[in-house]
């Protein structure tokens, strides 16, 4: 039998392969009571979607709560948003045995929507009639009202919520807020990256979402917890990795979930029964970098050369608090402080560099950092 690699890097993570997040799950549990809203913010690929999916799958058997999730990345406005929400609602009307219920037919006729059923999954997809902006906002209220009157509590998860900032018109946030604020039966769980946008959307007192949701900043999983988990995943599958080697992976990837998983996946798939030397880790890091090298070269080809130089310099440095300092500029042969700062700003915008709460700058991708410092 071919054994499953215990380090998934796809979005869905099985319960037994999911590491920790106990505190965050405890916080999200409040949403099961209805009426409380939660916002999960983190760097990309830290585990927001996996956390939301894990939360839903953990409690999905509860008879008192209905879970709906939509991912609004790529939506262009409330018209698209409503289509996704209507489809999610229609799926909640499919019975446990997969039958389309009368509640579904009534929903479809009330919204004058058309319904199609995927022949493979048997899941319905709903298409609403196209509407004007004001019709869209009314439809949104009606869809949310539908959830509010559900006999069960409802948890509505909206992934990539920062996308609504891109919606045309200036009032997308106010509109969403106005339909969500009065809810008693529905709890919303928002997830999104772009911390700057998310924080201004949910915490800026001049913005409409101010204080309406509890903020959760998803940090890297605790080092001790994650490295012990890595050792367990190996031993559960008849192999071993020593704790110092798991720590080496964690530290090289700065605990950034997706990249820790990626490197562990590689080490595990090498088939080595006992991983106990730095050389094992080194080889896995090199191989993983080789796999992603094309992506790194794409940065180089697409970025103006000044920005590429600064990105490479930050990565080679590991981290930097003052990117316009003389030492840093001279060591990496960068230009003037002003042009370097301008490049840093552009790289922050492009999510190739991030700045932590202490004001330290890093290359966003820890594997790129490792590649730049060790292989260039
Ligand atoms: N707690 C966890 N245990 C094990 N693996 C995890 C965990 N959380 C996340 N992962 C892994 O890390 C990867 C990245 O997580 P995920 O896609 O949830 O991040 P994200 O924050 O939603 O990223 P994005 O901002 O790009 O949407 C997942 O594909 C999954 O394989
Ligand atoms: Mg995600």
Centre of ligand 2 to C-alpha 75, Å, is: 15
Lowest mean pLDDT among 6-20, 70-84, 243-257: 6-20
Asked whether 19 lines ligand 1 (CB < 6 A), one says: yes
Centre of ligand 2 to C-alpha 202, Å, is: 18
Threshold 0.75, pTM exceeds: yes
The atom of ligand 1 lying closest to the CA of 42 is: 21
pLDDT tens digits, residue range 130-151? 777 778 888 999 999 999 999 9
Instruction: Give the per-residue pLDDT at 210.
Output: 64
Q: Determine contact, residues 349/308, Cβ cutoff 8 Å.
A: no
The number of CA neighbours under 13 Å toward the Cβ of 71 is: 9
Mean pLDDT over the full length of the chain = 91
Centre of ligand 2 to C-alpha 71, Å, is: 9
Q: Report the pLDDT averaged over residues 166-190.
A: 87
Domains and CATH numbers, the chain: 21-217 (3.40.50.300), 223-374 (no CATH)
Centre of ligand 2 to C-alpha 159, Å, is: 7
Asked whether 29 lines ligand 1 (CB < 6 A), one says: no
- Reply yes or no on whether the pLDDT at 265 is more than 90: yes
Q: Determine contact, residues 197/165, Cβ cutoff 8 Å.
A: yes
- The closest of 20, 48, 351 to 191, measured between CA atoms, is 48
Share of the chain above pLDDT 90, in %: 67
H/E run at residue 81: helix 78-92
Cβ burial, residue 77 (10 Å; 0-12/13-18/19+): middle
pLDDT tens digits, residue range 103-126? 888 888 888 888 898 888 888 898
Asked whether 39 lines ligand 1 (CB < 6 A), one says: no
Share of the chain above pLDDT 70, in %: 97
- Reply yes or no on whether the pLDDT at 1 is more than 70: no
Q: Report the pLDDT averaged over residues 227-247.
A: 97
Residue nearest to atom 11 of ligand 1 (CA): 258
Return the ligand number nearest the Cα of 44: 1
- Reply yes or no on whether the pLDDT at 193 is more than 90: no
Asked whether 194 lines ligand 1 (CB < 6 A), one says: no
Asked whether 162 lines ligand 1 (CB < 6 A), one says: no
Centre of ligand 2 to C-alpha 375, Å, is: 29
Instruction: Give the per-residue pLDDT at 211.
Output: 65
User: Residue with structure tokens 């790129």?
Assistant: 368
DSSP 131-199: --HHHHHHHHHHHHHHHHT-SSEEEEEEETGGGGGGSSSS-HHHHHHHHHTT-SSEEEEEEE--HHHHH
How far are the Cα atoms of 48, 225, 281, 365 from residue 264, in angstroms, in the given order?
20, 15, 9, 16
Return the ligand number nearest the Cα of 23: 1
Asked whether 44 lines ligand 1 (CB < 6 A), one says: yes
- The closest of 320, 249, 248, 258 to 292, measured between CA atoms, is 258
How far are the Cα atoms of 5, 95, 300, 312 from residue 305, in angstroms, in the given order?
39, 57, 7, 10
């Amino acid at each position: 039998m071919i054994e499953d690699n215990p380090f998934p890097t796809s979005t869905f993570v099985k319960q037994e392969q999911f590491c920790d997040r106990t505190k965050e799950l405890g916080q999200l549990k409040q949403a099961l009571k209805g009426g409380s809203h939660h916002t999960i913010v983190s760097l990309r690929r830290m585990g927001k979607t996996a956390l939301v999916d894990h939360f839903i799958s953990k409690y999905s058997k509860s008879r008192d709560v209905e879970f709906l999730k939509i991912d609004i990345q790529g939506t262009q406005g409330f018209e698209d948003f409503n289509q996704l929400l209507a489809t999610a609602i229609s799926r909640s009307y499919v019975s446990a045995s997969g039958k389309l219920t009368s509640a579904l037919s009534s929903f479809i006729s009330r919204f004058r929507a058309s319904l199609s059923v995927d022949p493979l999954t048997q899941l319905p997809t709903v298409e609403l009639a196209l509407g004007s902006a004001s019709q869209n906002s009314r439809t949104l209220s009606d869809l949310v009202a539908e959830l509010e009157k559900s006999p069960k509590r409802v948890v509505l998860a909206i992934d990539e919520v920062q996308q609504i900032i891109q919606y045309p018109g200036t009032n997308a946030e106010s509109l969403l807020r106005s339909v969500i604020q009065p809810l008693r039966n529905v709890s919303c769980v928002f997830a999104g990256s772009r911390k700057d946008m998310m924080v201004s959307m949910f915490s800026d007192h001049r913005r409409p979402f101010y204080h309406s949701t509890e903020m959760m900043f998803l940090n890297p999983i605790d080092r001790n917890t994650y490295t012990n988990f890595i050792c367990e995943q190996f031993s559960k599958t008849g192999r071993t990795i020593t704790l110092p080697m798991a720590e080496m992976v964690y530290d090289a990837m700065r605990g950034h979930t997706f990249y820790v998983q990626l490197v562990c996946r590689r080490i595990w798939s090498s088939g080595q029964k006992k991983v106990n030397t730095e050389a094992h880790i080194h080889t896995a890091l090199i191989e993983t970098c080789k796999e992603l090298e094309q992506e790194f070269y794409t940065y180089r080809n697409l970025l103006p050369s000044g920005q590429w130089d600064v990105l490479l310099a930050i990565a080679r440095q590991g981290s930097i608090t003052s990117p316009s300092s003389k030492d840093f500029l001279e060591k990496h042969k960068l230009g003037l402080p002003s042009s370097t700062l301008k490049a840093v700003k552009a790289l922050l915008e492009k999510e190739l560099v991030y700045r932590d709460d202490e004001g330290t700058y890093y290359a966003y991708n820890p594997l790129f950092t490792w590649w730049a410092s060790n292989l260039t």
